[in-house]
Structure 1
Amino acid sequence: MRKILLYIVPLTFILASLTLMTSGGWLKEPRSDQDELLQSVQSIEEHVQRENWQEAKRKHAYTKRAWTIVTKRIQFSVGKDTLSEVNQVLSRMEGAIEAEDANATLIEIYSFYEFWQELG
């Protein structure tokens, strides 16, 4: 019995670790209507292109809340640098929306899309 436990416990730990580290792709997907991150950024893009800045600000606030939720799920499967970069992109996006600068906002939106692809 002891010999079996010596193999099963480490093997279970290794399999659980590998599953967690490679799960970024499905952990980033929305689980409720409060964490639809990609859809909210796409919505911001549409509002910016129409120059509807109030709605873009509202959607950005939702995006920040959704990112907080998603971050808690993916923090162990994604590098800390990537999480920090996405935080910076969202902050710069907020500044560009406040300044009502469509070009800068779109640059940050497409930067976000690139990081989103990297997450898995």
Structure 2
Amino acid sequence: MRRFLVISIPIVTIVLFALIMQSGNVLKRPLGNEVGVPKTIEMIIQDIKNDNWDSAINHWDSLSKDWDKVVKRVQFSAERNEIEGLSLSIASLKGAIEAQDKSSGLQLLYQAYEHWEDLGE
């Protein structure tokens, strides 16, 4: 019995950690009433292209809240630099929206989307 426990506990622990570390693609999907980060990014892109800045700032609030939920789920399965890159893009995006800078806003949105795609791979 002791030998079984000595062998099985480390194996089960390693398998559990491997599953957690590979679960990023599943954990970054929207749960519950979340719209989802990619869909919100697409809505902000359309808002900026149409110069609808009030709607863009409202969607940015939604994006920020959804990202705060997702980052708690993927923090153990995603690379730190991808998480920080996406967080920085979202934070910088608010400034571009408030300044009504179309080119910077679109650039930051496409950069955020690229970080999202690389998250959890």
User: Which TM-score applies when normalising by structure 2?
Assistant: 0.95
Structure 1 residues 71 and 35, CA gap change in structure 2 (3 angstroms): farther
Q: How does 1:79-90 map to 2 (within 5 A)?
A: 79-90=79-90
Contact 1:35 1:70 in 2 (8 A): no
| Stretches of 4+ aligned residues off by more than 2 angstroms | none
Distance 1:7 1:26, change over 3 A: same
Q: After alignment, is 4-13 or 33-42 more displaced?
A: 33-42
Taking only aligned residues, the RMSD between alpha carbons, in angstroms, comes to 1.0
How much identity, in percent, do the aligned residues show? 28
Q: 1:8 to 1:35 in 2, by over 3 A?
A: farther
Q: Which amino acid aligns with 1:88?
A: L
Partner residue in 2 for 1:97: 97
- Distance in 2 of aligned mates of 1:42 and 1:35: 11
Residue matched to 1:78: 78
Ranges in structure 2 where 5+ consecutive residues have no aligned partner: none
The one-letter code matched in structure 2 to 1:113 is Y
State the alpha-carbon separation in 2 of the partners of residues 49 and 32 from structure 1: 29
